[in-house]
Amino acid sequence: MILSIGTDVVSVARIRRLMLHPRFLSRVLSERERTGLDPTAQRVAGRWAAKEAAAKCLLPLGLHPGWHDVEVLNRADGSPYLVFAPSLDLDERWRFHLSISHERETAVAFCVAEAP
């Protein structure tokens, strides 16, 4: 059963400007996310959109995550997945599906929360 959905669209140019600030990446991405990420503006914009989509997906559940409460990582095949901070106290039976896409100057992400 689908509990909620979330989506977000981000301007790659906006993220490129924000990346000029030295602390931007560490403020928005966890150390684990930064370690495995090719830090191009397009990729960071995709991560930003994914975190925003996940946050919008969690809002109907009464949760308001911060930037480091949601991690966007990649499986060995390159597909993205979400890792949530234990403080969010999510039911481990819930499944979250994530899709990220970018084209030139736009990144978009879509998240679906599914209950058993």
81-101 confidence digits (pLDDT tens): 999 999 998 988 889 999 999
User: Has residue 36 got a pLDDT over 80?
Assistant: no
Which among 105, 102, 99, 109 has a CA at the least distance from the CA of 11? Answer: 105
Give residue 38's pLDDT.
81
**How high is the pLDDT of residue 108?**
98
- β-bridge partners, 2: 114
Cβ contact 97:79 at 8 Å: no
Q: What residues contact residue 16 under an 8 Å CB cut-off, 6+ apart?
A: 41
Class of domain 2-114: alpha beta
Average pLDDT over residues 26-33: 95
Report pLDDT for 55. Answer: 97
